[in-house]
A = this chain, B = another copy of it.
Amino acid sequence: MRPLFHPQIEDVRLEAILHALSDPARVALFTQIAAADCARTCTALAGGVDQAIPKSTLSQHFKVLREAGLIRSERQGVEMRNTARCTEINDRFPGLLPAILDAHRRQAA
């Protein structure tokens, strides 16, 4: 099984973060991951976001979020556990993620 690629925080690019979160499904997924106190699994998330997202599409969304530096994914048996890299990103780009997540909430309201 190939190792999962996670960029070093200093290699995380603003453009990649904005691209990753410019997709409605991905910003919704990331919002849930960031809101979770504990790591969430792909399966649990798929239920919360949209029952209709096929598993392969969901894996692709997680890959984009991971490679943009937004989440850390760990294989645990057949599951994948995802956690948001909020603290690291907030050190690099202060206020960016809170502002995007707040805008997402306002738009959904």
Contacts and interface: CB of A to CB of B under 8 A. Distances in A.
10 contacts: A14-B27, A14-B103, A14-B107, A15-B21, A15-B27, A18-B21, A18-B22, A18-B27, A96-B99, A96-B102
Overall SS of chain A's interface: helix
This protein's copies in its complex: 2
Interface in A4-59: 13-16, 18-19, 21-24, 27
Interface residues of A, number: 24
Contact of A107 (B13, B22, B95): B13
Nearest to A19: B22
Interface in A65-109: 92-96, 98-100, 102-104, 106-107
B15 A24 contact: yes
A95 B21 CA distance: 17
Given A15-B23, A95-B99, A96-B102, 10 more contacts: A14-B100, A14-B107, A18-B27, A18-B100, A22-B22, A93-B102, A94-B102, A95-B98, A96-B100, A99-B99
